[in-house]
Every structure is written in structure tokens, then in C-alpha cells.
Structure 1
Amino acid sequence: MSLDERRPDPDALLALAQQEERRQRGGHLKVFLGAAPGVGKTYAMLEAARVQRAAGTDVVAGVVECHGRVETEALLADLELLPRQSLDYRGQALTEFDLDGALARRPELLLVDELAHSNAPGSRHAKRWQDVQELLARGIDVYTTLNVQHLESLNDVVAGITGIVVRETVPDAVLERADAVELVDLPPEELIVRLREGKVYLPAQAELAREHFFREANLSALRELALRSVAAKVNEQVLTLKEGEAPDAIWRSGERVLACIGPGAGGLRTVRAARRLAAQLKAEWSAIHVETPAHVRLPAAQRSTVVDALRLAEQLGGETVTVSGLSVADEVLAWARARNVTRIVVGKPHRTRWRARLHRSLVDALLRASGDIEIHAVPAAADAPASATSPAPAAPTPWRGYGIAALGVAAATLVCFAMAPFFELANLIMVYLLGVVLVARRGEREPAIFAAVAAVLAFDFFFVPPHLTFAVSDTQYLVIFVVMLLVGLIISQLTVQSREQLAHARLRERRTAALHAHSKALATCRGVDELLTVAVRHIGEVFEAQVLALLPQADGRLLVRAGFHAEFTMNAKEQSVAQWVYDLGRMAGLGTQTLPFVDAVYVPLAGKRGAVGALRVKPADPQRLVLPEQLLLLEAFANQTALALEVDRLQEQARQAQVQIETERLRSSLLSSVSHDLRTPLAAIIGSASSLAELGPTLDAAVQRELALNIHSEAERLSRLIANLLQATRLEAGTLAAAKEPHDLEAVIGAALARLVRALDGREVQTRIAADLPLVPMDALLVEQVLVNLLENALRYTPPDSAIEVEAHAEPGQVVIEVADRGPGLPSTELERVFDKFWRSAGSGQPSGVGLGLAICRGIVELHGGQIRALNRPGGGARFRFTLPLAATAAAPGDRDDG
């Protein structure tokens, strides 16, 4: 298909049609995107909304968060504000955006702030962006705001930059669906000043944010992400519109430079020229190489120049791409138009005049069909030496192919001798053409041409009168000879070309399959050591080589971390080569320009932020590895491995950041809980003790006894609190062991009730213990602690006049113990969370206690190999049910799940 007949990209037309359909049927979405809180997204949204209202648009503010900013509240003052809906959550009244109210009001334009917000339980949708999608589907236009760190695809990147894992995210498809994206930008210095002035957060929050998130380096990096996101969105819209309206036109919305790289001298110079041109224009640039079927027939030295040029383009910061096709010019121009390239840089070869007239050069082809694209021709010059591979041996003369061609023509001649008495000469021509096709099927171009010429000569010599001579009695045979020769040449060339295309397709298929298998293997791994082990094994199998993977230590020196069929040791020379490769990010060793005569190739594991390590690959057959395609494939394997290592490192950093956040949260919870629960008994002890010390002689015996009992009771309470903390620490560390011996469960229950006799004074306790209970293998003191904690929990959260029930019975292989009450019960969402450390139910309105008792219960029960559950009772109340196995099946401390 010619360039003039080129059709628009169907995917682009589909995207354009979908965009047009959304405009006609659905609402329009405009996103005000910022790099961080406080840049003024809400302010910009309100300003834009007021402009729309002045133009006669029906504007309603669905939900707008002013955060106490006076300027923002002033813009909102005279806009219609949609009332929020009230939701009851854990006894608290929460207000959320009223989606049903917005659909009933149905304004032309609705303002919905904070797109990434998570709705309270009970809302129709879990996320606010889902509310927005429903509004758009109902034909309502929406203005909304979003910070770049909330984009799902940037979650890991933001965590790596800031050390904070963002929990509320928005799928990238929401931003891609937006009809308009407006960047609200503010330099980091000004944003930090606003933070200090209290225009972003309250003073206490502002100081904390300044120490962690609002650092100048973090804000600059987030600002770059926001700029790139908006630029990508705008570029996508431009390319989609261009493909639909003018697929062959070049819209100069921004300069883009493309370097066209081919085999032979001049590739490096072309890349350097494209880089200089892009730097002058401050434009993006790329380098493209088109692989044609003839590429596989080129000498290794010429193919090496392509690899060197592509590698240089990557080092200079350009995007590199390799495509396949029959025509270099057509593929280059198709790719350039698809990417809106404005300038193409191509090497201008030195050619003799007669050769230039016979065969049009790539420069001529590009100039004829380039249209609005500028073509920059760079004079060819001798590049620096190409990759110093071992010299490729000269291609042997295909005498065997010529011999087979001669035999093919001879065989066709014998068949024609047998057919000559019975058939016309035209049928004999078909036999010769069949012989030419059979010879050409071997894929050798020169023997195929030889066969076509030999077939014409044999036909003339043996079958055209006068026979056994090349003389021609009738000039009409000359036309037959010419047509026969042309048809034979065309058929042979098409046959050879199809075999070359097949070989080329198989080569690319093998490359793609190998890369796919490598990436699939890496995707299933976790951890640096496992990734490297899988990578070196796969690389070693594909390239039939010994492989070592090296990663840097804290001091920057490389250390062998994984190997395949190789010793984990390297001599000083090998270590220095690997260190050089890692430090400079360039290949060295066999088949390269640096130390080409060593027996291994050293490849950097090049990631986005520089090299993360190096590979040493020692092939069993050096001649096979030094082929340019093999080196390029090895480099692709190394890059995939480096990317997997970087992703794993980012995930580890995110995990550590999450652990740090969780640690801080637990620390804050522990300090707040313990400080309150320590102060209460200490205050009672101090008050009673001071009363005894100061007023003791004047107090009667009953009062003195009451004060002493109060001191004793509060001291016991304090002791239990400290014991819980210590026991929780031992459970967390896995150092608590259960000394199990056969015990009477009824005696253990009685001991637990005796420990709480003062607290249970006046409470009805009903016990139902089966008479046939066997002795249970358990640590009696630990199980007693479980019962004490469950009874204290029932006392704390139930009315004073309600009964507490304790039941025990046997089931196959285990005993079951239940502690039940008739209190308010537990919310269904808390039945599992009540066993988390520092978790205190808010349903009862009594947030007393540290929140460790039930967590300790679960740890002790699981230490015995049992299970514990919280259930609600019919008619009201909670029931805690735990089991103890009758056989010694307790889990090891390291196997427990402490929540």
C-alpha cells in the first residue's frame, strides 16, 4: 500500500468516535490537577465555575472543601450549595456528598471537590470518582479537583519519592476520560510559604507536613509528575484529533525530531546530529531502525553499526524503536506521522552517479513522500570503529547452490526431452519455470538468478530450431526468451524474498518469545535474590552461557549475588571490568569496543535511575554471542532484569514506609491509651494513700479498710495492665511458650472467677460446664488469663444488672469454651477487628481499656492450636467462643498470625 493510500489508524478513529459520543450523550468532565495540597485547585475550580455562571450556566456546588481558607469561602458564598446527606457510622454522624440529591436537582454544571475521596460506609459508591462517573453518565457536566499523587499508576513512584503510601487512588482511566485537564501550578517555595502562613493546614498539621511531605525536593518531583501527566494528556488529545482529521498532516504543536538509522557508516553521526538539533529546538527526539528481510543477509560488521547507533541514542537520552517492513521509507514516514514528528534526520550516502540513477536512495524516497515533514540529510562519514567483534569470516562462494541450480536445470531439460514429442514449446517453458522455482525455494539469490538464465539458454540450445545452437531462426523467439527470463527472475526473486521474510519473522518471533518468557518469569518472583536467581538461569539457558549477577554493596563495590553454572568468585581483573561497567553504565568485554578480547561480556543492569548492578556472561560459543542481534537481545534481558529489581526495591521502600507509618500509629495509640489507663489507677492509689497518710488517725476503721481495699484493687488493675503490655510484647516477639500439661478445665474457670471476685461482686454469673469434660492439655495460667480478659471485657461493656454466662463442653477432638453477655453486642463490621491490637469498640460509647485484652486472648488461644471468634447473640449481647484441641497440635510461635 502506498503512502498516498494510507488509511487512518482504526484505534485512533475509534477513540475519536468514542470521544464524540461522550460529548453528545454524556456529561463533560474537567479536572483541575495539582502537584500537592494547597496549590489552589479548589480556588481555580470555583473561579472557572463563576465564569460559567456569568455566562448563564446553571451551576451548583455539590461538595466543596474550603479547609478554613477565607479566600475560597468567599468564592463559594453566592453559589448554590447542595445539602449533604448524613450517614450514621459507629455511632457518629458523618456528612457526605448527596448523589441522589444531585441527580434530582440535575444542574448543568456540578462542582465535586477531591475526586480521590473515599465515601463513608453506607454510601452508594465506595469512592467519589464513582459518583462522578454516574453523574457524567446521566449527562451532568462536572468540575473536580485531583492531586497527582492520587493517580493509581503513580502510586509506587510517589511512595518512592516521599516515603508515604497514598491509600486513596483514582484509576488513570478517569483522567484519560476527562474532556479537559487544567494544571494548577505553584512553585515549591511559594507553596511552603503558604504552608507556614497556615493557608494549607492548621499550624499543628502544617509543622508535621513540613517535616515529612512538604519538602522542596518532594514538591519539585511531584510538580514534574503533574506537568508530565498534563502534557501526556494534551499530546494524546492532539494525536487523536490529528489522526481523525488529517492523518497525513503534521501539526506543529511541538517540535519532534527523528533520527533514521541504517546499516553501514553514518549511523553514529546521524544520531549525534539529531541530538544537537533536538537540543537547539528543545524538542523530544527518537531514533528508528527499520529491519527489512535483506537485513539478515548483511555482514555482522554492518549490523553492528546499527546496534552501536541505537545504544548511543539511548545514552544521549533519545527513545529508540525498531520496526519491521519491506520499505524503509514507508515505515519511517508512517511512524513519524503517527508520532507527529516534524523533522527527520537521515544519513546521505556517497554514491556514484550511475548507481544513483538506477536505484533511488532513502533520502530521495523520504523527500518525495515527506509532505510537511522536514528532511535533514547528514553527509556520511567514517564513524568510529564499530563494535569490535571478532571479524566475521568472508561469506563463502555458494558453489553448492550453483551446483544444485545446474542440476535443477539439467533435470528440467531431461523432462522436456521426454515431453518434446508430445507437447508444444510453451509447455516446455512451464517445466523450466518450475525448475527455477524449486531452485529459488532454497533461499539463495545468486543461484536462483543463475538458474533463470541457464533455463533460457538450455531451452534455446536444445529445443528452439536450429537445435544444438544458440542461433534463432525466428525473431519471435527472442520475445519468448526475454519474457521467459523476466518471469524466471521475478519468480525466483519473489520466492527468495518470501523465504527471507519468513526467516526474519522467525527471528523476531524467537526474540519476542524469549523476552516474554523472561518477563513472565520475573513477574512471578519476589525479593532480590529470587529475581536474580531466575534471571541468571533464564539468561544462561537462552544464550548457553555461564552467568554471574553482581549488585553493589553499601560502599559501591560489586558483590556476586547469583550465578548460573559459574563459580561465585571473580579475579581482580574481572572484578575491575564489572565495576567499570557498573560505574559508567556501558557494556564491555567480548564483542564490544572495550576489552574486546576477554572471554566474557559484561552488561550493566541499567534502570531508570542509573545502573543497579552488572551481569557477567561467558558463552560456550563466543562467535554466536558476538552477533549484533544477540548482544542487543542480551541488553534487553539485562534491562528487563534491572526494571524488575527497581520495582522490587520500590515495593520494599513502600512496605518499609507503611511499616513506619503503622509503627507510628501504634506508638501513638499505645501512648494515648497507656497514659490514660496508667493515670487512672495511679490517681486512685495516690488519692487513697494520701488520705490514709494525712487523715489516718481521724478515720474510722471501715473507711481505712475501704481506702486500703481501693489501693489494693487499683494496684491489681495497674499490675494487670503492665502484665498485658508485657504479654503482648512477648506474643509479638514469638518468645511466649505454652507449658502444656493435662488440667481440669473446671478448676481453671474457677480460678479465673476467683481472681475477679471483687469486680464480679453483685453480678450474676451463670456457669454451665459439662460433667464429662476430659483433662485438657494446656498452660493453665495462660488459659486462665484468657478467661479473665474475656470476663473483664464483659464487665466493661455490659450493664451492671445483666448476667454473664460461662459455658464449656466437649466436641470431637476439642473442647469449646464460651463467655457470653447480654450487653449491646458488636457491630457486624467489628467482629474480626475486636482482636486487633489497640482496637476498642466505639459502639458502646465506652472507650476504656488499652485494647490489648482480646488481642492477647487470640495470641494465647492460637499458641495452643485453637481458634477464637466473636459472635452476636440472638436477642442482644456478644458471645466469645474459643476452642482448645485435646491433642498436642499447637502451632509453633513462628507460625502464628498475630494480626
Structure 2
Amino acid sequence: MTTGRRGRLTVYLGAAPGVGKTYAMLDEADRRRARGTDVVVGLVETHGRAATVAKIGDLEMVPRRLAEHRGSTLTELDVDAVLERAPEVALVDELAHTNAPGSRHAKRWQDVHDLLDAGIDVVTTVNVQHIASLTDDVEAITGVRQRETVPDQVVRDADQIQLVDLSPEQLRRRLAHGNVYRAEQIDASMSSFFRVGNLTALRELALLWLADRVDDALTRYRADHSIGGTWPARERIVVAVTGGPETETLLRRAARIAQRAAGTELLAVHVLPTDGLPSTPSATIAAHRALVESLGGVFHTVVGEDVPTAVVDFARGVNATMIVVGVSRHPVWRQALLGSSSAEIARLSGAIDVHLVTHERARVGLGVRSRYSSLSPKRRAAGWGSALLIPAVLTAALLAIGTDAVALATDAMLLLAGVVGVALIGGLWPAVVAAVVSNLCLNWFFAAPTGRLTIAEAENVFALAVFVVVAVAVASVVDLAARRSAQAYRARAEASTLAALSRSVLSGEDTAHAIVQRLAQTFAMADVRLEERADDRAPWSVVAHERWVTDAEPGAAPAGTDDDVTEVLIDDRHRLVLAGRVLPASDRQVVEAFGAQAGIVLERRRLREQAAQAEVLERTESTRTALLAAVSHDLRTPLAAIRTAVDGLASPDVELDREDRDVLTATIADSTYRLERLIGNLLDLSRIQTGAVRPALRAASLEEVVPIAVEPWLADLALDVPEDLPLVHTDPGLFERVVANVVSNAVRHSPPGAKVLVTASAARDSVELRVADTGPGVPEDRKATMFEPFQRLDDTSTGGLGLGLAVAAGLADAVGARVSAEDTPGGGLTMVLTVPRDGMVP
């Protein structure tokens, strides 16, 4: 059945299973039916949830189609039955579902398309982890690869998308109360997919994906309705970056404006000439890009012939609400004659606000820059020589042929070709000299009357004038093309060099020596040193040194004199010294980029070292203070009990029967055990904090660790460790101590007669051992400090110094494992030991 109209698709998008997508879909069905709409349930998956089953109520349900697959009977959406029923609205759950073999289509979203083509409106559900473009991100977050996916475009093309959202804490509470999965699935689900971190990341993915879709919808609406003006749905500030010294002022001013309203975007745009060659040094642009990123903005580069038009077009394209530009650096007289870019941007901006920022360089002029020559000294000398030689040779050749045999126009064309040749050899100014010399030769030897600089015929005067103008114009174009070619080659070389530097840093070669070595190789410098000093008056000392001998014999001393040494100051404490040849200014810009990277590496190394030292000192001081406070009581208590019992046994004045002796002996044994455990934990903590623990990591099975570790408490445990778990990468002996400490703590805090549940399961790159008790648990504000030394879970406890979990966490770190704490559903504490799988550790 076809109605001639395509049905409308409504999608309820969830950040995770259990947020209430299906319930929200059924709620919409109730509202539509109350308005008189013909609604049927094509397929709804209740997953045994009582609230969902009750919500279906008396909604009409189309019977499902039965499918046999590998001896099992599966139920699928009966597309033909829904088409025959022809309702106005059909509910179809789980859009990304894969149909059983033999179905009309492989995927359920294809079935939904058939219903839409028949004019039936469809309301459906999908989780963000099933959207195809997010599969890799979801796997990186959760460790689970989603096999059932739906193409992004299917969801994006929906007429309406409703986000169904719950905070991670709310969803975990729903899970703990049994509103999502059955009781036997709750613990495993909360420890794997439904972790707070996973749910938070999935929630952010859903919000960002939907925000992009809303932005696309707004852009499409403006295009469909030919809306050229900006709609301030979101504040976007565009900064026109010239590359001049005022750029930093503009960027910081724009960042302060952006900070006034939450959610404001900062975008910087730099316009390149249409030939694509940078008019600003690449090092300057790189510095401005870094500044923009540090301010939380995004740097863009566009190509445009007219700078103001390109800036305004970019601002309109990103739906900007404000453009920030600087006051022109040109003097007032030039602005009066030729105008300024800032004024032109304001004229073209239309509804976009333009914020004009003054700065120190405003109206002081751009300065006079010498024209850079890309030619070598030998080539420039050859150019000046050819400026005189080529016109003379061509004139002699034409005179040899005879002035009557060749017309004046032909003479001029041949000499013009000579001027072009001079431009190719020596650039513009030698070509201009050649043009003047050639004009004089034409006048003297070939324009009547010959032998004089006077010209008899008026057309010859015009011809000679045109010759000079054309010669100079052609020479200028040839010279400009040669310069642009040289600039393009240099820009490509600089880009390749900086890209190689970036690759070396990203690949882990972020040491100072690696940067110095690459610098020496790139610029073929005989000697490169990175030096540092303690302060401004201290002598320089070498941090990294590289000699790069090319033409000399191996082991030869660096070539060059003192004049061939280039110093690049990175900061007050670091500098680069290069010897071998004098660097041109363009190469120096790239060297400065190398130097900046070296400075970052050194600063990062210094900060790491300082942070590590401070952490060690802080931890040592904290441990010493806590130890002194605790030893006075916790170590003397068992000693006092031992001393009292020994005195009672040794006293000649007291007659003890066998029962009294047994009691005193048991007291000595129990106090000795407590004392040994306290001293053992103190020694373990001392070894951990001094770095004396030397784990022997290898492939191991939990079967060889867990049974031995929990043996003293087997009567108080419910053990569920599967035999087919993958091997882990750890030190079995030390990990056994970790398990023993955690299990001992759980048993000690469990109610009498209650079993502690010990389970194990495998994740994508790790194996998890969970120890769950039903004791009093730990308050949320104590979980952040429960793994620190001398932190008792119960301040009234007299059973120890509070070192068990600290020792467990320290030993776990040493063997590559991790200890974390979660609430046990129904009350209590669950300790999670995460151990990397063998083969997953680089």
C-alpha cells in the first residue's frame, strides 16, 4: 500500500541502555492515540522490565514473525503484516538490530525504510554506541566492539530526534535497583560497561553528536530559505589575523570578549594570497596558532584575493556574530587615498558586529622592507654581465645580417627576447638595464636616421617607447615568477622540515639530543650545541651536542670561523649554537622553531623531575608524621597484651589452671600475629615508598594466585573464578599479597555469617577480580583517601594502623595492576583488582 507521501521518522536517541528510550517511545504512542491517531506496536523489546511491559498496556500489537536459526526460534518484525495493517504510526524498537537470516532485509533500519516508503510514520529507538561513525570511539571507551550498527545518515535524516538522557549516577541506581537487568547480571554490568567513566563519556558523545546534527539542521534551514545573514544561535567571534605585531593584542582581546558568555567560540582566520604562498613568516604563523589554541580557540587559514572579502565570507560561513580587527598600521594619508582593510570589513560585514581594537603599531606605518633576492651572488653577477653582453651580441648579429634585410619591428622582438633572457638569468634590475641598453641600440643602429639618437619617424618613437614598457613589464613578470617559485620551494622545504620535527616528537623522540641531531642533519651544520645556564650570570653548559661532518674526514674538527657561528636564544636559560656556515634569515626562522621545541622538551623534563621530587618528599613527610602518631598506640597495644600475659604465666604467686594458661597463651599468639602483621605492613610500605620493590613480571594464571591468597578465609568466601580466564601479566607472588590484603579487609568488615563474593571476569585488555562484601561500606567522601597510609575505614577500630589497602594499592601499582572501590548493590564495598592481560603490555 502506498499513500503517495513518505512517512516521518522519529528517533529516540539514548546515551546508554536503560535510560528509558523504549518507555519514552511508548509514552509518545499513548499521547498520539489519545489524539485519535492509529498507532500499533510493530516490535517492542521489553527485556523483562515490568515498567515497560505495563506501559504497553492495551496498545495493539502486530504479531511477530518467527524465524528458525541454528536450532533456535527467533522473533522478528513482520514487515508484511505491518504493511497489510497500514496504521498511521508504527513503533519499531532497536533500529540497529540485525535480522535473522532469511529475513526481508539484513538490518532492521532497512525494514523501517520500507514502512516509511509506504507512508507509515515510524517511531524508533537507538543507542549512541550503535551509530556507525562512533564505533571506534565507543570501543576505545568501553573496550567492547559494537557489532550492530546503523549508518549515521539514517539517523541524521530522521524528521525528529529526541535525546533520552540520565546522569551516570541515576542510571547506576536504576541498574542497582533491578530496573534494567536481572539480579545476576547487575554486578558484572556495573563493573564493566556501566562504569561511571564509561557512562559519562557516552553521554558526552551523544550530546556532541546531537549538537552537530542541530547545527547541520540550522545551516540547512538557512540555505533552504536563502538566509544570508547570521543568526546568533551561538556566539562565534572571528579574529582577523594579519601576522603583524598587533596580532597577539587582538587575540587576547577577543579571548576576553569570548569569556564573557559561556559557550562562545573563538576562531582566528589568516588570509593567504591566491597564489598560496605565505606573506608572513611561517614561524610567526605557528606562534599565533599556538596562542589561539592556548586561548581555547581554533586557527583557520583561507586563500583569498581580497583580504576583507575573504574575512567576511569566512565569518558568514561559520555564522559568526562578531569580527575583531585591528586599527590599520598604514599612515592616515594612505588610508585616505586607498582605504584600509578594517574599514572595508566593517562596510561588508552587514549584520555581523565589528570590534575595532587599537594597538601600539596603529597608524605608524609598515616600515620599509628590502626586497629579498632568491638568486645566488654568482647568478646576480651573471645577470649584470648579460645585461650588457646580450644586447651587444644581438645588435652585432643584426648588423652582420644587414639593416635592410630585417625590419625594425623584428629587431625589437629579438632584443625583447634578449631582455627576457636577462630576466631569467639575473632578475628584474639587470633586465631593466638590458631594456634601456637595447632601446639605445635600436635607436642608434636601426631607427632612421642611424648613428644618432634622434628619430625621424613618429611611429618609431612610439615603437621604441612600447618596447621599453613591454620589456620592463615582461622582465617584472618573469622576475616575480622566479621569486614565487623560490618562495614556494622554500615554503615546501620548511613545511617538510617542521613536519619531520613533529613526527619525531610524536614518535617519542622528544629528547634534546634527538632535536639537536635532526637540526644538524637538516641544515648540514658542522657543529650544533644546546646549552643551558643556571641564571643570567652563570656560565653556559652543554646539554646536547652533535657534530655533523660532511666533506671532511671522519673525526675532523668543525669547520668555520667565529663569523660562521649562529646563536639562537631560546629563553634566558637556554640557547642553540650552530657552527659551519652563516644561516640566512629564512633558515633562522626554522631553527627558532627547533629551538622552541627543544625549550619545551627541557622545561617539561625539568617540571617532571621537580614534580617527582616534590611528590616523594611530600609522601615521605606524610608517612613519617602518621607513623609517629600511630606507633605510640597501635604497636604498644599488642606489646602490652603480650607483656601482661607473659607476666601472668611467669608469676610464682599466681596459681593458674589449664584453662587460664590456654587463655593467656592464646592472647600471646593473637597479639604476636597482630604485631607481625603491623610490622610486615610497615616494612612493605617502606619498600614501596623507597622503590625497593622489584617485581618479576611474567605471564601467570589467576588459578595459581587466588586459591593460595584466599586460603586462610575460604570458610568465609564464595569463590567464582572461571578456569578459562586469559593469562595475566604480573608478578604472581606480589599480586598474591595484594589479593590477600584485600580479601582480609573484606572479611574483617563483613557481618558475622555473611559470605564475601570473589569473582573474576575478562575485559578487552584486562582481567578483573572483584571482592564484594556486604559490610557497612565506605562513605563517598572517604573513597578518595582510603588507599592512603594510616586511613582507617572505621576510626574506632583497634585492629591495625590502616595500612592494608595502602600496601595493596602500592604493590598493585608495582606489578602493573590497579585497585579501585565501588559500592556493592544493596550495601557494602566492592574492591576491583584490574590486571593487564598478557600480550597487552608494551
TM-score (norm 2): 0.54
What's the counterpart of residue 342 of structure 2?
363
Q: Quick one: which of 11, 34, 44 aligns to 2:24? A: 44
Residues 594-628 of structure 1 show CA distances to partners (whole Å, capped at 9, x for unaligned) of 7551359xxxxxxxxxxxxxxxxx99998799654
142-151 or 495-504, which moves further after superposition? 495-504
What's the counterpart of residue 301 of structure 2?
322
User: Do the aligned residues in 2 keep the contact of 1:436 with 1:448 (CA within 8 Å)?
Assistant: yes
Q: Quick one: which of 256, 266, 276 aligns to 2:246? A: 266
Distance 1:121 1:200 in 2: 29
Distance 2:42 2:499 in 1: 48
What's the counterpart of residue 830 of structure 2?
none
Q: Quick one: which of 235, 238, 258 aligns to 1:278? A: 258
Sort the Cα spacing of 1:161 and 1:472 in 2 relative to 1 into closer, same or farther, 3 A.
same
What's the counterpart of residue 635 of structure 2?
none
1:30 lines up with 2:10 in the alignment:
yes
Residues 239-297 of structure 1 show CA distances to partners (whole Å, capped at 9, x for unaligned) of 34445654854343322222222233112222222322322243222222233388968
- Give the counterpart letter for 2:349 in structure 1: S
What's the counterpart of residue 598 of structure 1?
576
What's the counterpart of residue 135 of structure 2?
155
- Report how far residue 508 of structure 1 moved: 6.4
User: Do the aligned residues in 2 keep the contact of 1:294 with 1:500 (CA within 8 Å)?
Assistant: no
What's the counterpart of residue 495 of structure 1?
478
312-321 or 284-293, which moves further after superposition? 284-293
- Give the counterpart letter for 2:60 in structure 1: E
Residues 173-203 of structure 1 show CA distances to partners (whole Å, capped at 9, x for unaligned) of 4334444433223334444444445443344
What's the counterpart of residue 287 of structure 1?
268
Residues 486-513 of structure 1 show CA distances to partners (whole Å, capped at 9, x for unaligned) of 5445434443444455455556666788
User: Do the aligned residues in 2 keep the contact of 1:256 with 1:285 (CA within 8 Å)?
Assistant: yes
Q: Quick one: which of 82, 92, 117 aligns to 2:97? A: 117
Residues 441-462 of structure 1 show CA distances to partners (whole Å, capped at 9, x for unaligned) of 4694555566666666766677
SS at match of 2:219: helix
Sort the Cα spacing of 1:132 and 1:258 in 2 relative to 1 into closer, same or farther, 3 A.
same
- Report how far residue 208 of structure 1 moved: 4.4
User: Do the aligned residues in 2 keep the contact of 1:32 with 1:45 (CA within 8 Å)?
Assistant: yes
Residues 656-701 of structure 1 show CA distances to partners (whole Å, capped at 9, x for unaligned) of xxxx9x999xx9xxxxxxxxxxxxxxxxxxxxxxxxxxxxxxxxxx
- Report how far residue 327 of structure 1 moved: 4.1
User: Do the aligned residues in 2 keep the contact of 1:544 with 1:619 (CA within 8 Å)?
Assistant: no
SS at match of 2:126: strand
User: Do the aligned residues in 2 keep the contact of 1:261 with 1:306 (CA within 8 Å)?
Assistant: no
- Give the counterpart letter for 1:378 in structure 2: V
SS at match of 1:355: helix
Aligned pairs for 1:461-860 within 5 A: 486-503=469-486, 545=521, 592-593=570-571, 595=573, 597-598=575-576, 627-628=588-589
- Report how far residue 312 of structure 1 moved: 0.9
Distance 1:436 1:59 in 2: 86
- Report how far residue 41 of structure 1 moved: 2.2
User: Do the aligned residues in 2 keep the contact of 1:109 with 1:141 (CA within 8 Å)?
Assistant: yes
1:313 lines up with 2:292 in the alignment:
yes
Residues 327-363 of structure 1 show CA distances to partners (whole Å, capped at 9, x for unaligned) of 4444434443333333332333322234335655432
User: Do the aligned residues in 2 keep the contact of 1:265 with 1:305 (CA within 8 Å)?
Assistant: no
SS at match of 2:240: strand
What's the counterpart of residue 343 of structure 1?
322
- Give the counterpart letter for 2:478 in structure 1: T
- Report how far residue 171 of structure 1 moved: 3.7
User: Do the aligned residues in 1 keep the contact of 2:533 with 2:574 (CA within 8 Å)?
Assistant: no
Residues 562-590 of structure 1 show CA distances to partners (whole Å, capped at 9, x for unaligned) of xxxx99xx999999999xxxxxxxxxx96
- Report how far residue 484 of structure 1 moved: 5.0
Distance 1:132 1:104 in 2: 15
User: Do the aligned residues in 2 keep the contact of 1:518 with 1:637 (CA within 8 Å)?
Assistant: no
User: Do the aligned residues in 1 keep the contact of 2:237 with 2:264 (CA within 8 Å)?
Assistant: yes
SS at match of 1:280: coil
Distance 1:166 1:663 in 2: 28
Q: Quick one: which of 195, 200, 211 aligns to 1:231? A: 211
User: Do the aligned residues in 2 keep the contact of 1:255 with 1:284 (CA within 8 Å)?
Assistant: yes
User: Do the aligned residues in 2 keep the contact of 1:443 with 1:500 (CA within 8 Å)?
Assistant: no
Q: Quick one: which of 350, 353, 370 aligns to 1:374? A: 353
- Give the counterpart letter for 2:324 in structure 1: V
Q: Quick one: which of 164, 167, 175 aligns to 1:184? A: 164
What's the counterpart of residue 283 of structure 2?
304
How many percent of aligned residue pairs carry the same amino acid?
Answer: 35
Residues 371-421 of structure 1 show CA distances to partners (whole Å, capped at 9, x for unaligned) of 4433333324379xxxxxxxx999799876486267347634653672754
Sort the Cα spacing of 1:254 and 1:436 in 2 relative to 1 into closer, same or farther, 3 A.
farther
Aligned-pair Cα RMSD in Å: 5.8
Residues 34-62 of structure 1 show CA distances to partners (whole Å, capped at 9, x for unaligned) of 22223332233334455556677654332
Q: How many residues align?
A: 575
Distance 1:451 1:365 in 2: 41
Q: Quick one: which of 161, 165, 180 aligns to 1:200? A: 180
Aligned pairs for 1:346-425 within 5 A: 346-357=325-336, 359-381=338-360, 401=380, 404=383, 407-408=386-387, 411-412=390-391, 415=394, 418=398, 421-422=404-405, 425=408
User: Do the aligned residues in 2 keep the contact of 1:591 with 1:626 (CA within 8 Å)?
Assistant: no
Residues 725-756 of structure 1 show CA distances to partners (whole Å, capped at 9, x for unaligned) of 8xx999999xxxxxxxxxxxxxxxxxxxxxxx
Sort the Cα spacing of 1:426 and 1:221 in 2 relative to 1 into closer, same or farther, 3 A.
same
- Report how far residue 232 of structure 1 moved: 1.1
- Give the counterpart letter for 1:155 in structure 2: T
- Report how far residue 107 of structure 1 moved: 4.5
User: Do the aligned residues in 1 keep the contact of 2:283 with 2:593 (CA within 8 Å)?
Assistant: no
- Give the counterpart letter for 1:292 in structure 2: P
User: Do the aligned residues in 1 keep the contact of 2:236 with 2:265 (CA within 8 Å)?
Assistant: yes
Residues 531-560 of structure 1 show CA distances to partners (whole Å, capped at 9, x for unaligned) of 65999999999877499xxxxxxxxxxxxx
Residues 199-219 of structure 1 show CA distances to partners (whole Å, capped at 9, x for unaligned) of 433445445444444444443
What's the counterpart of residue 645 of structure 2?
none
- Structure 1 alignment gaps of length 5 or more: 1-22, 384-391, 523-527, 548-565, 579-588, 601-617, 640-659, 668-723, 734-899
- Give the counterpart letter for 1:316 in structure 2: L
Sort the Cα spacing of 1:516 and 1:576 in 2 relative to 1 into closer, same or farther, 3 A.
closer
SS at match of 2:575: coil
User: Do the aligned residues in 2 keep the contact of 1:518 with 1:535 (CA within 8 Å)?
Assistant: no
- Structure 2 alignment gaps of length 5 or more: 363-369, 535-539, 546-566, 601-698, 707-721, 730-842
What's the counterpart of residue 721 of structure 1?
none
User: Do the aligned residues in 1 keep the contact of 2:9 with 2:123 (CA within 8 Å)?
Assistant: yes
Sort the Cα spacing of 1:230 and 1:220 in 2 relative to 1 into closer, same or farther, 3 A.
same
Distance 1:477 1:127 in 2: 84
What's the counterpart of residue 761 of structure 2?
none
What's the counterpart of residue 234 of structure 2?
254
- Give the counterpart letter for 2:576 in structure 1: V
What's the counterpart of residue 125 of structure 2?
145
Distance 1:575 1:89 in 2: 73
User: Do the aligned residues in 2 keep the contact of 1:590 with 1:626 (CA within 8 Å)?
Assistant: no
- Give the counterpart letter for 1:284 in structure 2: E
User: Do the aligned residues in 1 keep the contact of 2:386 with 2:422 (CA within 8 Å)?
Assistant: no
SS at match of 2:245: coil
TM-score (norm 1): 0.51
- Report how far residue 222 of structure 1 moved: 2.3
Distance 2:11 2:498 in 1: 38
User: Do the aligned residues in 2 keep the contact of 1:58 with 1:107 (CA within 8 Å)?
Assistant: yes
1:62 lines up with 2:42 in the alignment:
yes
